């Protein structure tokens, strides 16, 4: 394997390189090219990317228009510190995001990842309350089994025990509420007749902590990892909005997975009709070309800073980087120029129709999601919905079996009770074809049958 004229690894093998890999027990193929929903390695093997990487390559692999926009920007200007300058690229992306956002959003803060976007949102909420004389409002309510990022503030808001456990001594003590998981309703109610009564726990949690101490509530419209494309009912978000308003608590909507068209709308929250105070973006905003995140700020929040004449006391060296602006702007252009929101809705309906057959398979408890973000919950007993023990690694085994057939999917765990629970997520690029959807579902169903035969024998 040759890279810029230098051999990687002592024997020319990428696997023998100095990379500290995510999983030190496995050998990784070396990706070298891609086209649409496919990615290829240096051995000439082609993989069908049924997960967009990890919800990142929303436009597929190597759309030339985005690459050209980034190239043009690099040749013109590679960096300008945003403590000294703004740039046309940063301004254009901010204007585009405000244009497609729900009504009332007026400002955008660009970051370098989804984790840093949620970290910034947490700090923004804190400073907002400080400026309004509520210095004790420091705690953020979030949902169990959620994932909001790997930085310490974002991880404090995250509700997934396996991700938190090694770092618990460093994490902030933030309260958690149950997610609106209708498949495992803690109230034993049925949606939609329940009216999303589970959302009342948000206000109860605020009251338990004391409203004077709660800064924000953060939630995902459609979950990614652990909960496997669990879609939040519109009524839940509406009741969450009301609870926040009654208690002077900001509503942060994490759209890092669900935003930028993944559900068929620009933002997953749009289905509910509510307007959050802050929206965070990441992953697909950079199309996989650059690491990027964004914090969309409603005018009512920005007004606190403007009225006080105080800037947001936060920043990274690469905040507002010119290439982030160029990439994000080109991604939005590509979505609009190719009518990809409509395509996501159409392909999403087709994917759901194909996946419905999987509900008849052993292990499959529920198929759920919206748009091109769909998930399956896998269970030991379909009648009782009893999950498999975590040690069985059911989701991972299904995903590994699919990868053996060169279809890439995502496994999630601990979504049932914080320890057990298995989900598999399908989230292909927006440019996926119906034939590729057919292939993804066929391989997924075969993988489930294979694992079922192993564990139910």
Would you state the pLDDT for residue 5?
32
> Is residue 7's pLDDT more than 80?
no
Report pLDDT digits (tens) over 207-246. Answer: 999 999 999 999 999 999 899 999 999 999 999 999 999 9
> What is the rounded distance in angstroms from the CA atom of residue 27 to the CA atom of residue 34?
20
Report pLDDT digits (tens) over 268-281. Answer: 999 999 999 999 99
Q: How confident is the model at residue 62 (pLDDT cuts 50, 70, 90)?
A: confident
CATH assignment at residue 252: 3.40.640.10
Q: Are residues 27 and 97 in the same domain?
A: no
The number of domains in the chain is: 2
Structural domain harbouring 258: 66-337
CATH assignment at residue 51: 3.90.1150.10
Q: How confident is the model at residue 16 (pLDDT cuts 50, 70, 90)?
A: confident
Would you state the pLDDT for residue 14?
67
Residue with tokens 């409002």: 137
Domain boundary among 287, 317, 337: 337
Q: Are residues 344 and 263 in the same domain?
A: no
Q: Are residues 163 and 78 in the same domain?
A: yes
> What is the rounded distance in angstroms from the CA atom of residue 59 to the CA atom of residue 53?
11
Domain boundary among 337, 360, 387: 337
Domain boundary among 337, 363, 378: 337
Q: Are residues 100 and 242 in the same domain?
A: yes
Q: Are residues 159 and 291 in the same domain?
A: yes
Q: Are residues 398 and 442 in the same domain?
A: yes
Q: Are residues 284 and 345 in the same domain?
A: no
> What is the rounded distance in angstroms from the CA atom of residue 79 to the CA atom of residue 73?
10
Q: Are residues 211 and 318 in the same domain?
A: yes
Q: Are residues 440 and 304 in the same domain?
A: no
Q: Are residues 229 and 375 in the same domain?
A: no
Q: Are residues 366 and 227 in the same domain?
A: no
């Amino acid at each position: 394997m040759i890279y810029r004229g230098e051999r990687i690894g002592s024997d020319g093998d990428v696997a023998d390189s100095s990379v500290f890999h995510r999983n030190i027990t496995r050998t990784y193929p070396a990706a070298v090219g891609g086209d649409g929903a496919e990615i290829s390695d240096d051995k000439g093997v082609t993989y069908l990317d049924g997960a967009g990487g990890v919800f990142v390559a929303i436009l597929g692999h190597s759309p030339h228009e985005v690459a050209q926009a980034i190239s043009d920007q690099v040749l013109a200007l590679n960096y300008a510190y945003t403590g000294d300058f703004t740039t046309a690229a940063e301004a254009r992306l901010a204007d585009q995001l405000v244009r497609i956002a729900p009504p009332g959003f007026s400002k955008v803060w660009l970051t370098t990842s989804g984790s840093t976007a949620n970290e910034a949102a947490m700090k923004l909420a804190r400073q907002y309350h400080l400026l309004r004389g509520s210095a004790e409002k420091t705690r953020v309510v979030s949902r169990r089994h959620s994932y909001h990022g790997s930085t310490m503030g974002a991880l404090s808001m995250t509700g997934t025990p396996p991700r938190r456990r090694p770092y618990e001594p460093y994490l902030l003590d933030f309260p958690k509420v149950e997610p609106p998981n209708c498949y495992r309703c803690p109230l034993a109610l049925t949606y939609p007749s329940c009216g999303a009564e589970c959302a009342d726990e948000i206000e109860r949690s605020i009251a338990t902590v004391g409203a004077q101490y709660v800064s924000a509530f953060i939630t995902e419209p459609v979950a990614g990892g652990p909960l496997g494309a669990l879609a939040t009912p519109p009524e839940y978000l509406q009741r969450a909005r009301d609870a926040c308003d009654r208690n002077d608590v900001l509503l942060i909507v994490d759209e890092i997975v669900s935003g930028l068209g993944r559900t068929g709308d620009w933002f997953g929250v749009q289905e509910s009709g509510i307007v959050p105070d802050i929206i965070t973006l990441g992953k697909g905003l950079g199309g996989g070309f650059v690491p990027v995140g964004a914090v969309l700020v409603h005018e009512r929040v920005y007004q606190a800073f403007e009225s006080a004449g105080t800037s947001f006391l936060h920043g990274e060296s690469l905040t507002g980087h010119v290439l982030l602006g160029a990439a994000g702007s080109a991604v939005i252009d590509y979505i609009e120029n190719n009518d990809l929101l409509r395509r996501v809705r159409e392909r999403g309906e087709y994917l759901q129709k194909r996946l419905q057959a999987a509900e008849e398979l052993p292990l499959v408890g529920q198929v759920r999601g919206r748009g091109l973000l769909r998930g399956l919950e896998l269970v030991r007993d379909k009648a009782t919905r009893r999950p498999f023990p975590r040690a069985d690694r059911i989701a991972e085994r299904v995903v590994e079996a699919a990868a053996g057939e060169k279809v890439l999917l995502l496994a999630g765990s601990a979504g049932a009770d914080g320890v057990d629970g298995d989900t598999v997520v399908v989230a292909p690029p927006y440019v996926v074809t119906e034939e590729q959807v057919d292939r993804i579902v066929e391989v997924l169903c075969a993988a489930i049958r294979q694992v079922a035969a192993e564990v139910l024998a």
